[in-house]
Structure 1
Amino acid sequence: MATTTSPASKRQRSSKDVPYHLIYWPGVPGRGEHVRLALEEAGAEYTDTAHIKDGIKEVMAHINGEVPDDGINVPALAPPILKHGDLVISQTPNILMYLGPRLGLVPPHDEDEDGIYKVNGLALTALDGLSNEPHDCHHPIATGLYYEDQKAESKRKSEDYVKNRLSKFLGYFERVLKSKASGDGPWLYGGKLTYADLVLFQCLDGVKFMFPKAVAKYEKSGDYSNVFKLYEAVKERPKIKEYLASDRRQKYSMGIYRYYEELDIEP
């Protein structure tokens, strides 16, 4: 019996020995920052619509469904989007799972065939509790409403977050870092830097900007000393340190992590 192959089952045609291309909003670090940190740490060659003239047009073309159907890739709902050769993928954790083995940011498969899933689980947890939940602190009702339309709810949500949820996630990662699976040194898994460490760094950096009083108090408590040691260790890595000091690192403003004085609550 003859079989047919649908266009979607075709293998990617072009060589992957080409630069990565990140498609993300200009003006805010956002969820694209996790991808940038991985690329920067690895010294990978990449382009970024956030730093390309009129790059926003490419972002909007994907969002508005104006990118021609190539018969291979599924349309993306929203950035971050990564283009590599003929491959186009979206969703931060999905992009990081793709990049991890290529950039040396997960354990080698022949040494730890399940390691990538453990690293991904750690990254997902950090994104859940230290990225998605902080975003909901300033937009607890609807993303389509302005912060000013939900200030009372935002205050209530933020109070619960800094008193209960933030400490829960800091405590979880402290427990991970004290576990045998963490290995030697400051890293979350296997004694070596992985993309999960970069995700945790970025999430904690954003939360420090958004809730400086709460984070300062938790750091001073000493209960999460290993988490903050990891943060400093990532910050001092040569390529990351250079990146953070460069104009490629965008400043926090009106993205996921926002500073509102009335939400800067001390637990």
Structure 2
Amino acid sequence: MRYELYYWTGAQGRGEFIRLALEDVAADYIDVARKRGDNAMMPFLRGKQAGALPFAPPFLKAGRMVIAQTATILAYLGPRLGLVPGGLSAEIYAQQLQATIADIVFEVHDTHHPISASLYYEQQRSAARKRSQAFREERIPKYLDYFESVLARGNGRQALSRHSYVDLSLFQLISGLDYAFPNTMRRMQRQIPRLRALAERIAERPNIAAYLASPRRIPFNEDGIFRRYPELDPVR
């Protein structure tokens, strides 16, 4: 099957978690908006296409199905791409972990848009500083300690019993936090050895390494979820 991924052009965003899964297994897919422009998504978002109605991108077209929400898309793709261990228990656990990754990604977004997504960052800078301080000091350690424990409870190297889409998403999470909060992540270096090792292994996987070196990998930038604003991650 040839998959069609729909996500905004110019930013990694939530679509990147899906791209990584598709790239890891060299799946046949097209990143539709990057080929045809963002307007290609509008018929789906306006309910003018058959199938389920997505609230927002990312969404995936697989045959006649339209699937939205990152964790749901990956739960669908996981068994089909061989990116989740077999069995219902493993599939549910993988989706649980992916939903938790979605939680922290939502909180990352709110560090630079704590009041409203419709306002520019510059219009909510003061609130962003306060939100980011709490995120750096409380939320990043809480989430990363949890994921470090997930790896420790498994085989120490992966989230599940073997390589899965969750590992790819943890790589993206660590990469994004390194970009947006480099000072905080340096201070946490010793607390997350398993996550660091996992991220390094994922980056060295042949298909992922080729993807990261290619123009298909959009660089982190200040239009995405992970944004680097120095005032939100001060050096102590």
TM-score bracket relative to the smaller structure: over 0.9
Answer yes or no: is 1:67 the counterpart of 2:48: yes
**What residue is the counterpart of 2:19 in the other structure?**
36
Are 2:148 and 2:194, in contact at CA under 8 Å, matched by a contact in 1?
yes
Supply the distance in 2 between the matched residues of 1:105 and 1:55 (Cα, whole angstroms). 29
Q: CA deviation at 1:60?
A: 2.6
Match of 2:194 among 203, 206, 226: 226
Supply the distance in 2 between the matched residues of 1:66 and 1:172 (Cα, whole angstroms). 39
Are 1:81 and 1:91, in contact at CA under 8 Å, matched by a contact in 2?
yes
Match of 1:121 among 96, 107, 111: 96
**What residue is the counterpart of 1:207 in the other structure?**
177
Are 2:151 and 2:158, in contact at CA under 8 Å, matched by a contact in 1?
yes
Supply the distance in 2 between the matched residues of 1:224 and 1:259 (Cα, whole angstroms). 21
Match of 2:167 among 197, 200, 217: 197
Supply the distance in 1 between the matched residues of 2:140 and 2:25 (Cα, whole angstroms). 30
Answer yes or no: is 1:147 the counterpart of 2:121: yes
Match of 1:259 among 225, 228, 233: 228
What's the % identity of the aligned pairs?
40
**What residue is the counterpart of 1:175 in the other structure?**
149
Q: Could you give the per-residue CA deviations for residues 90-145 of structure 1, whole angstroms, max 9, x where no partner exists?
A: 11001000000000011123xxx31101111111112212x111110000011111
> Which residue identity lines up with residue 56 of structure 1 in the other structure?
D
Are 1:186 and 1:233, in contact at CA under 8 Å, matched by a contact in 2?
no
Runs of 4+ in 1 over 6 A off after TM superposition: none
Match of 1:240 among 197, 208, 226: 208
Runs of at least 5 residues in structure 2 that lack an aligned partner in the other structure:
none
Q: Could you give the per-residue CA deviations for residues 225-247 of structure 1, whole angstroms, max 9, x where no partner exists?
A: 11111111111111101100000
Answer yes or no: is 1:51 the counterpart of 2:34: yes
Q: CA deviation at 1:66?
A: 5.3
3-state SS in 2 of match to 1:114: helix
Aligned counterparts, 1:151-166, within 5 A:
151-166=125-140
**What residue is the counterpart of 2:109 in the other structure?**
135
Supply the distance in 2 between the matched residues of 1:22 and 1:92 (Cα, whole angstroms). 11
3-state SS in 1 of match to 2:215: coil
Answer yes or no: is 1:105 the counterpart of 2:74: no
Are 2:148 and 2:192, in contact at CA under 8 Å, matched by a contact in 1?
yes
Supply the distance in 2 between the matched residues of 1:50 and 1:215 (Cα, whole angstroms). 33
Q: Could you give the per-residue CA deviations for residues 203-234 of structure 1, whole angstroms, max 9, x where no partner exists?
A: 11111111111111111xx1211111111111
Runs of at least 5 residues in structure 1 that lack an aligned partner in the other structure:
1-17
3-state SS in 2 of match to 1:100: helix
> Which residue identity lines up with residue 188 of structure 1 in the other structure?
A
3-state SS in 1 of match to 2:22: helix
* More helix, by proportion: 2
3-state SS in 2 of match to 1:89: strand
Aligned CA distance change for structure 1 residues 62 and 266 (closer, same or farther; 3 Å): farther
